[in-house]
Structure 1
């Protein structure tokens, strides 16, 4: 029997907070983007293989935890275009049908001006498994009932909202 008490929500979030050089680097990026654009907008893709009941997750080289792939929407891009670009870069995944915008969230963990759109992608193709590079340490499909232990709390919330009927949160 495990005598260790489960972590509360605040402790879980702290476990995935960026510290040291990665945290400094993230803050520097946000300072750069504050000058470049006063509000940031990002996208995440919940790539779901219905037949296998699995989702595609990535683990970055510069932040802890497994999470949904995605990134920032650049100037001149639509959210859907940014999603397609990010899935291609982070997972060798191409979208085969229009993705469904499931929800929008204020990402107060990143900054006071960051918002993230979550898309459900059920029609896709992966040209090859994603190999590690400077940004992505690991990537792969995981069954909903067998997620990696280090899956971030925000990712778990999005999965619960999408598949378990949990009430959607306005916060990432």
Structure 2
């Protein structure tokens, strides 16, 4: 016989305390949310962050309890002054622990194609970015670190097939 019974929803205060204890013990995931944006000739937008080496896709880290798509939109507004409608999910990449970092879920959303005027006027709006540039897919692959390059390649495949991809450390997992 158990000395203590597991609380039930019939006792909301005890039930919520029980659930909160379980929640506190569960893993927390870092979440990155990036956007694939293109110009009218099909080049992809890359940004050059000031706080880390190498080029990246526009976007960033989600704040606590922030949905990934909201994080992506917020980052585009803060860093580039862009207000866009996301057109769907392209990639979810589970990133294994590496260096000092725990695992992470990285999303890429389809931001569609900017018109030529928007593309021409695009400039970094805060100190987190030094540059923004539209480049060909080949040039993007040359500028990006492996992890981001694999994710971009997956996003471009997802655009072609019309189906989002699940990646595991940048490689197709399913």
TM-score when normalising by structure 1: 0.64
Give the direction of change, closer, same or farther, for the CA distance of 1:131–1:39 in structure 2 (3 Å limit): closer
Which residue of 2 is the match for residue 93 of structure 1? 82
How far is the alpha carbon of 1:56 from its aligned partner?
0.9
- 5+ unaligned residues in a row in structure 2: which ranges? 1-26
How far apart, CA to CA, are the structure 2 residues paired with 1:70 and 1:98? 12
Which residue of 2 is the match for residue 135 of structure 1? 128
- Quick check: which has more Rg, 1 or 2? 2
How far is the alpha carbon of 1:148 from its aligned partner?
7.4
Query: Of 59, 78, 87, which residue of structure 1 is paired with 2:48?
Result: 59
Give the direction of change, closer, same or farther, for the CA distance of 1:137–1:76 in structure 2 (3 Å limit): same
SS in 1 for 2:140: coil
Give the direction of change, closer, same or farther, for the CA distance of 1:131–1:103 in structure 2 (3 Å limit): closer
- 5+ unaligned residues in a row in structure 1: which ranges? 1-36
Which residue of 1 is the match for residue 169 of structure 2? 171
- Per-residue CA deviation, residues 52-86 of structure 1 (Å, 9 max, x unaligned), is 11111111112111110111211342221111111
* 2:148 counterpart of 1:155: yes
* 2:67 counterpart of 1:78: yes
- Per-residue CA deviation, residues 84-113 of structure 1 (Å, 9 max, x unaligned), is 111112222221x33311121122347223
Count residues in correspondence. 134
Say what the alpha-carbon RMSD is for the aligned residues: 2.9
